[in-house]
Copies of this chain bind each other. A is one copy, B any other.
Amino acid sequence: MRLETMRYTERFGSVRINDVQKVIELDSGRKEDTPAGEIIGVKKIDDEVVRGIEHRMAIVIPTRDEKLKLFEGVISGVPHDCLIIVVSNSQINRVDRFKMEADTLAQFCHFSQREALILHQKDPVIAEALGQAGYSDLLGEDELIRDGKSEGMMVGWLMAKLAKKDYVGFIDADNYFPGAVWEYAKCYAAGFSMATSPYAMVRILWRYKPKISGGIYFKKWGRASEVTNKCLNSLISSKTGFESEIIKTGNAGEHAMSMRLAEILPYASDFAVEPYELVSIFEGFGGVLPTANQTAAKHGIEIFQIETRNPHLHEEKGVQHVREVLLPGLSAIYYSPICEPETKKMIKDELVVQRVLKTNEKPPKPHLCLLPKKVAIKKFIELMGEHLAAYSATGEAE
């Protein structure tokens, strides 16, 4: 893989936000062909380096009643060296779609000779372990894990931790192109290979997100993304005193974190999850509030934004309107203790323009999951350790 090098980095306290780096070449060939002096501005990342990171990375695929054909395509695109972790919230009762997913995954793992984990979001064993470990924010009134993609993601990375992985990446199950899935994983690995801090995050910017209506139109920006990015940038600008456009991946569903970063971040529910990751990093390490974690602050938090070569073509659900995506994310920014009046006003104005709020109405408070403390993770790992094999896709112990 060949990428643009880091050309510009914006610093916000101990957070280093790298400007977008485009993928230049999907497959940059053999190691021996690496030129001694690469052109300034371009970075070739050798296969061995990428695979080394993939080997230490889990790809979490949250899914809920997704078309099996799409699910099957997505898992086939995940590079072999990554551990696949499927967190499914699909129906079990009327039609056991979870079983279909498990069967599909098991068949794929059998033929590709790889391991994978699959679990249901309503698994009582995991819920109990979470409860005992103090993650009660993840649980609903029925003592099971709440619905929601972000809860699934959270369980996903905890399972990745259990499987002793150092990185965790998220990829949606509704992608039409296995080749795009493959590229996401490669971008994650490429990003981590460039990181100088063990606290790193890679966020994907799609080159295009084609809209289908009659023909195909290669749209670059969605309305929700534009607004979310603007508000996040306002949050930074107001603190640094320099207007910034650095954040271009505020809503990036496709993103990855080093485990050490995942361990110290609180989570938000719903569509707030992706923007809130940034908000919580700014809160904890932007230098405005007390530092959330001294070790991490010392290393710095590194954020990479990588633009893929493949467009992003996925299942159009038709129900996720701009408003549904927009509100939770903007609320998470709005209620941040570092959000100053100017950005608050921008958020309210945008929500009024988008007809999500009435004038003088305030956004609803987002649901946040407590900061998981190291001790809690340890407890979860301890409780779940003996059960890991039960979640193997092939039914074989690791």
What residues of chain A have their CB less than 8 Å away from a CB belonging to chain B? 2, 23-30, 33, 35, 38-39, 41-42, 44, 47, 51, 54-55, 69, 73, 76-81, 108, 110-114, 176-180, 182-183, 210, 212-216, 218, 309-311, 313, 316
A69 in contact with B218 (CB, 8 Å)? yes
CA distance A366 to B15 in the complex (A): 66
Report the 9 A-B pairs with minimum CB-CB distance, sorted nearest first.
A179-B179, A29-B80, A27-B79, A178-B309, A25-B112, A29-B81, A179-B310, A28-B80, A26-B182
CA distance A216 to B55 in the complex (A): 35
A76 in contact with B112 (CB, 8 Å)? no
A215 in contact with B216 (CB, 8 Å)? no
Extra 8 A-B pairs, beta carbons < 8 Å, given A27-B78, A179-B183: A24-B76, A30-B51, A33-B80, A39-B110, A44-B113, A73-B309, A178-B310, A179-B309
Return 9 A-B CB contacts under 8 Å, by A number.
A2-B111, A25-B80, A26-B77, A27-B182, A29-B54, A30-B55, A47-B47, A176-B311, A212-B216
List, in ascending order, chain B residues with CB within 8 A of A51's CB.
29-30
List, in ascending order, chain B residues with CB within 8 A of A177's CB.
177, 179-180, 310-311
CA distance A248 to B33 in the complex (A): 37
A35 in contact with B113 (CB, 8 Å)? yes
CB nearest neighbor in B for A215: B212
The verdict on A111 contacting B210 (CB below 8 Å), with A80-B33, A216-B176 known, is: no
List, in ascending order, chain B residues with CB within 8 A of A81's CB.
29-30, 33
List, in ascending order, chain B residues with CB within 8 A of A25's CB.
76, 80, 108, 111-112, 114
B80 in contact with A178 (CB, 8 Å)? no
The verdict on A111 contacting B24 (CB below 8 Å), with A177-B179, A310-B178 known, is: yes
Q: How many copies does the complex hold?
A: 2
CA distance A313 to B312 in the complex (A): 12
Closest-CB distance, A386 to chain B (whole angstroms): 27
B212 in contact with A112 (CB, 8 Å)? no
CA distance A51 to B32 in the complex (A): 11
Closest-CB distance, A222 to chain B (whole angstroms): 18
List, in ascending order, chain B residues with CB within 8 A of A216's CB.
176, 212
List, in ascending order, chain B residues with CB within 8 A of A182's CB.
26-27, 179
List, in ascending order, chain B residues with CB within 8 A of A41's CB.
111
List, in ascending order, chain B residues with CB within 8 A of A108's CB.
24-25
Find A42's partner among B35, B111, B210 (CB 8 Å cutoff). B111
CA distance A179 to B28 in the complex (A): 13
CA distance A127 to B205 in the complex (A): 45
CB nearest neighbor in B for A52: B30
List, in ascending order, chain B residues with CB within 8 A of A316's CB.
215
The verdict on A39 contacting B176 (CB below 8 Å), with A29-B80, A212-B216, A215-B212 known, is: no
Closest-CB distance, A193 to chain B (whole angstroms): 15
List, in ascending order, chain B residues with CB within 8 A of A111's CB.
2, 24-25, 39, 41-42
List, in ascending order, chain B residues with CB within 8 A of A210's CB.
176
A179 in contact with B180 (CB, 8 Å)? yes
Among A39, A51, A112, A179, residue most surrounded by chain B Cβ atoms (within 10 Å): A179
Find A112's partner among B28, B73, B179, B180 (CB 8 Å cutoff). B28
CB nearest neighbor in B for A28: B80
CA distance A137 to B169 in the complex (A): 55
Closest-CB distance, A82 to chain B (whole angstroms): 9
CB nearest neighbor in B for A183: B179
